[in-house]
């Protein structure tokens, strides 16, 4: 009887260890679902503000205002950087799509083999957490109503 209790205890312990390992693996492989942005987390937003200032503001503007005439191709036939504030279209895209666009680029994310853009691919340049932080900072700057709509829309994209 005592051996049975030990075996059950070991099985339970093994199940807990496997569950913990699986949770750790999910956390380490990067965000892949709605709810990955944290616009209400002051530490994440502060980190995101710094990441944005260093990697994004030169094109998208210090105040997320984007470049002038961002909807019309420039002399090179490329679209200028869009705004990331509420006047742009960033909030129309789910959290996962924004993450993928930032990490892998539009061409890879949308399967547009010959698409040209000035937007760099940040895979291997920024960590997943830095990308999440920058996007969380951007989202934190939107009005509360847009943040809520964006969160609800992102939940549909699972």
Q: Are residues 83 and 134 in the same domain?
A: yes
The answer to whether residues 45 and 136 touch, using CB atoms and an 8 Å cutoff, is yes
Tell whether 88 and 115 lie within a shared domain: yes
Q: Judge if 9 and 85 occupy the same domain.
A: no
- When divided into structural domains, the chain yields a total of 2
Query: How sure is the predictor about 18, in pLDDT bands with cuts at 50, 70 and 90?
Result: very low
Range of the domain at 7: 1-30
pTM: 0.77
Exposure on the CB side of residue 157, measured as CA atoms within 13 A: 20
Q: Please check whether residues 3 and 43 belong to one and the same domain.
A: no
Distance of CA 136 to the CA centre of its chain: 7
Looking at the fold, whether 99 and 39 belong to one and the same domain comes out as yes
CATH number for the domain harbouring residue 109: 1.10.760.10
Q: Where are the alpha helices (DSSP H) in the chain?
A: 2-28, 42-55, 57-60, 95-104, 106-110, 128-140, 144-156
Tell whether 20 and 42 lie within a shared domain.
no
- Cα–Cα nearest to 128, from 21, 32, 41, 25: 32
Same domain? For 26 and 37 the reply is no
Question: Side-chain half-sphere of 113: how many Cα atoms within 13 Å?
Answer: 0
The verdict on 99 and 144 lying in the same domain is yes
Same domain, 130 and 101: yes
25 and 38, same domain (yes or no): no
Residue pLDDT, tens place only, 21-61: 344 444 444 444 457 899 999 999 999 999 999 999 999 99
Percent of the chain with pLDDT over 70: 78
Residues 69 and 117 in one domain: yes
Q: In the block, which residue shows the tokens 């291997």?
A: 124
Q: Could you report the per-residue pLDDT of 123-157, keeping only the tens digit for each?
A: 999 999 999 999 999 999 999 999 999 999 898 87
Residues 20 and 65 in one domain: no
């Amino acid at each position: 009887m005592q051996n049975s209790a030990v075996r059950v205890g070991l099985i339970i312990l093994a199940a807990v260890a496997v569950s913990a390992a699986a949770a750790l693996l999910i956390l380490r492989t990067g965000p892949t679902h709605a709810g990955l942005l944290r616009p209400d987390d002051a530490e994440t937003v502060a980190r995101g503000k710094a990441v944005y200032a260093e990697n994004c503001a030169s094109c998208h503007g210090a105040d997320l205002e984007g470049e002038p005439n961002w909807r019309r191709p420039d002399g090179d036939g490329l679209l200028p950087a869009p705004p990331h504030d509420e006047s742009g279209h960033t909030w129309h895209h789910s959290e996962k799509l924004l993450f993928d666009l930032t990490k892998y680029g539009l061409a890879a994310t949308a399967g547009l083999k010959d698409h040209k853009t000035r937007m760099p691919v940040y895979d291997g340049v920024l960590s997943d957490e830095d990308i999440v932080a920058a996007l969380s900072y951007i989202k934190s700057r939107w009005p509360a109503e847009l943040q809520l709509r964006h969160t609800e829309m992102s939940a549909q994209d699972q």
